[in-house]
Structure 1
Amino acid sequence: MFVVLLTFASNKAQAGQFMDGHKQWIQRGLDDGVFLVVGSLQPNRGGGIVAHNTSLPDLQRRVDDDPFVAEKVVDAEILEITPARTDPRVQFLLDAGTAGP
């Protein structure tokens, strides 16, 4: 499982120009079953993603494809978490591991 932090960077002012592509990138991650949660970092610091069912190299490639990352609207940091215990509602995170099926 991974947490991706997308914190605003030097080109933050250009976010509007790349927003449509960024939203399409997010939707692909959701459609592909890689992104579990996507939201904003508060207050107005950027965005965060919880991802699973992928490997670190594959996730890094996916993150590099985000127009916000490519255009330096955000800086990306990927944190890998090895789940050891979960609430029963998210047991699938333990069952799948970090690399997915």
Structure 2
Amino acid sequence: MFIVQLRFSEHRDKAKEYMDAHNAWLRQGFDDGVFLLAGSLDSGMGGGILAHGASRQALEQRVQTDPFVVEGVVTAEVVELAPAKADPRLEFLLAG
């Protein structure tokens, strides 16, 4: 499982221009079953995504196609998380 942090860069002002394309990119990630959760970071710092079911390499390649990343609106960091415990509703995340 991975946490993707998308932190606004100095080009944050371009976000509105690419928001529709970024949202389409997010929808594709959900449709493909890779993204489990997406939302804003506290204090308007950017956004975060919880991803599962893809290799790190595949996820990093996907992230590089985000229009916000391509246009320099955000910088992306992918952090791997090895879940060891989960609420019963999320136990599927513990499987390989």
Counterpart in the other structure of 1:30: 30
Runs of 4+ in structure 1 off by over 6 angstroms are none
Shift of 1:32: 0.5
User: Separation in 2 of the partners of 1:42 and 1:88?
Assistant: 27
| One-letter amino acid of the counterpart of residue 12, structure 1 | R
Counterpart in the other structure of 2:56: 56
Return the TM-score normalized by structure 2.
0.97
Return the TM-score normalized by structure 1.
0.92
User: Separation in 2 of the partners of 1:43 and 1:82?
Assistant: 27
Question: Counterparts of 1:1-101 in structure 2 under 5 Å?
Answer: 1-95=1-95, 97=96
Q: Deviations over 1:27-76 (max 9, x none)?
A: 00010110000000011110000000100000000000000001110000
| One-letter amino acid of the counterpart of residue 85, structure 2 | R
> How big is the alpha-carbon RMSD for the aligned residues of Structure 1 and Structure 2?
0.6
Q: Which runs of 5+ in 1 are unaligned?
A: none
Q: Deviations over 1:3-41 (max 9, x none)?
A: 000000021111111111100000000101100000000
| One-letter amino acid of the counterpart of residue 10, structure 1 | E
| One-letter amino acid of the counterpart of residue 83, structure 2 | P
| One-letter amino acid of the counterpart of residue 42, structure 2 | Q
Q: Which runs of 5+ in 2 are unaligned?
A: none
SS of the aligned residue for 2:43 comes to coil
Shift of 1:85: 1.3
User: Separation in 2 of the partners of 1:10 and 1:76?
Assistant: 14
